[in-house]
Structure 1
Amino acid sequence: ALYYGNHSLLQGLELKQDEATALAQTFWETIDAALPEWALVRKKQLSAQEMRRDFIHSHGIALHALGRVGNAILRETAKPAQWKKRLMPLKDVDWTRSNTDWEGRAIVGGRVSKSHQNVTLTVNYLRKRLGLELSPEEQRVEDAYLRGDA
């Protein structure tokens, strides 16, 4: 899951290996700061199993989507202070599986789905929460979802 998240994050960015490694580490540390449940798992106040049961942000679909959203932000600005600030609204996202916003996007029939379409719909949701425009392909998938064609 982290492979796909990092691959999506760094895709198309012309960086040397050490720069890419440092950027990915800083990016995921910034994400970590926006998701308090990750710290609870590290402190053993919440089990990894409980987190995966109750939240989607530790599932492959969310890591992949976060990488894609991060890539879009990094293409707008390489300045850490600016892109880190752009990610802060992630702390206000309701990442619980019970959040009905995820149904049809990240969750289908009560199960997390990592199909290409579901990843894109999850990216779209996060892009909107961060005030980012959708690409033409993302808009096409979103329109189909909203029409009920998805």
Structure 2
Amino acid sequence: MNDNFYYSFPAIRGLQANRDYYVIMCPFNILVKLFMFNEEDIPPEHRAQRILNKARIPHISRYMIDNPNDYVFSSLTASVDGDIKFESYDDSNFKNIGTLQVAMDSRLLINDGQHRKAAIEEALKENPDLGKETISVVLFIDEDLKRSQQMFSDLNKHAVNVSKSIGILYDSRDEIAILTKDIIKSIKNLNNFTDKERSHLAKLSSKLFTLSNIYKSNKKIIGSNTLDDNMKKFILEYWTYLSNNLKDWQFVFKKELSAKNFRESYVCSHGVILEAFGLIGNYVYSYDIKNWKSILKKLNKIDWNRNNLQDWQHRVISANGRITKSATSIKLASNLIKEKIDLPLTKDEAKLEENFKKGLMKK
């Protein structure tokens, strides 16, 4: 290596699969200049990772800019195909801690974390002061494209996505997440029967709801309204009323029926109906309907049984008998509920209902 032409990084040396690898600290303003990912016009079989999803970048970048004092990024994983030299400290106790020198003509390729790198690049345009901050990079020696492709496959094959519920549970920034957790905690039955970790209930689960479904319902309640104190008060009151007054839920709350059997027999604890309740909550709040509690009493006249195919099939129950939860299913469920409790449909809802019933007539 020509000592006059190299990059130098503080590094820790490790060993995996009988190969040396290094963890380096890389300043943001150096990261965006050194590390690359394969160009989009290269065929997939000749690339070492997926094409960049540019729609993700502004969200990640905004996260950094809005939280300059407490954002956090995990390490990037990259490979280098040029000359490197590791110089450890003199003390033998620290032989794996030292400085990594990387030849300037090396090719450094990101195997995992290309969206974080692109977001950092965008954030620096708005806030150049972030350039002095660092991110750890796990750096492997790149033997050839096949090795890089296998690294990408291995890194992603064994990755497990965090459930939406646990992401909400640990989120201390999102106002709706905070509100949802506070509401669940303050309503005994919701607290007892909401799974706060999983987004999909296991068949034998003793829970009725998931944190993520209640969160999504709250987003529907808020809609385009401002999440101010009045809205927060209404959402708490709304869930308290549903929890105390929806008779079918009481079967489980009072231990007259297991949550498993309830979910198998009724639709009203499933996410599609909870989000439909969210749309109805949005309607009564937005239109300032004063007697909404007396209106919601009529929910108990609805037959929530899954065997009630006249109401639920093709709205929230598919032809194979499974519960569906598309955006359209949520709106169609809300339409039916509104008709049952004598709330008028909006113009858009009426149009959707008309098209839905025309479609049924053709079947």
Question: Which of 75, 98, 104 is residue 314 of structure 2 equivalent to?
Answer: 104
Q: Following the alignment from structure 1 to structure 2, what is the Cα–Cα distance between the partners of residues 21 and 50?
A: 33
TM-score (norm 2): 0.38
Please report how far the alpha carbon of residue 78 of structure 1 lies from its aligned counterpart in structure 2 after TM superposition: 5.8
Residue 127 (structure 1) aligns with:
338
Question: Which of 217, 225, 244 is residue 33 of structure 1 equivalent to?
Answer: 244
Q: Deviations over 1:32-79 (max 9, x none)?
A: 233223222122221111111011010000000011011111222264
Q: Give 1 or 2: higher helix fraction.
A: 1
Residue 263 (structure 2) aligns with:
52
Structure 2 residues not aligned, in runs of 5+: 1-212
Please report how far the alpha carbon of residue 131 of structure 1 lies from its aligned counterpart in structure 2 after TM superposition: 1.5
Q: Give 1 or 2: higher strand fraction.
A: 2
The structure having more radius of gyration, on CA atoms, is 2
For the aligned residues, what is the CA RMSD?
A: 1.9
The secondary structure found in structure 2 opposite 1:96 is coil
Q: Which has the higher contact order (CA 8 A, sep 6+)?
A: 1
Q: Is the 8 A contact 1:5 1:63 kept in 2?
A: yes
Which amino acid in the other structure matches residue 94 of structure 1? D
- 35-44 vs 116-125, which deviates more? 35-44
Identity value in percent? 31
Q: Is the 8 A contact 1:34 1:90 kept in 2?
A: no
TM-score (norm 1): 0.87
Please report how far the alpha carbon of residue 26 of structure 1 lies from its aligned counterpart in structure 2 after TM superposition: 1.3
Residue 2 (structure 1) aligns with:
214
Which amino acid in the other structure matches residue 146 of structure 1? K
Matched, 1:95 2:308: no
Q: Following the alignment from structure 1 to structure 2, what is the Cα–Cα distance between the partners of residues 61 and 45?
A: 24
Q: Deviations over 1:95-139 (max 9, x none)?
A: 111112101111112111111111111111011112222222212
Structure 1 residues not aligned, in runs of 5+: none
Q: Following the alignment from structure 2 to structure 1, what is the Cα–Cα distance between the partners of residues 261 and 316?
A: 18
Please report how far the alpha carbon of residue 15 of structure 1 lies from its aligned counterpart in structure 2 after TM superposition: 4.1
Matched, 1:65 2:276: yes
Matched, 1:43 2:219: no
4+ long deviations beyond 4 Å? none
Q: Following the alignment from structure 2 to structure 1, what is the Cα–Cα distance between the partners of residues 332 and 280?
A: 12
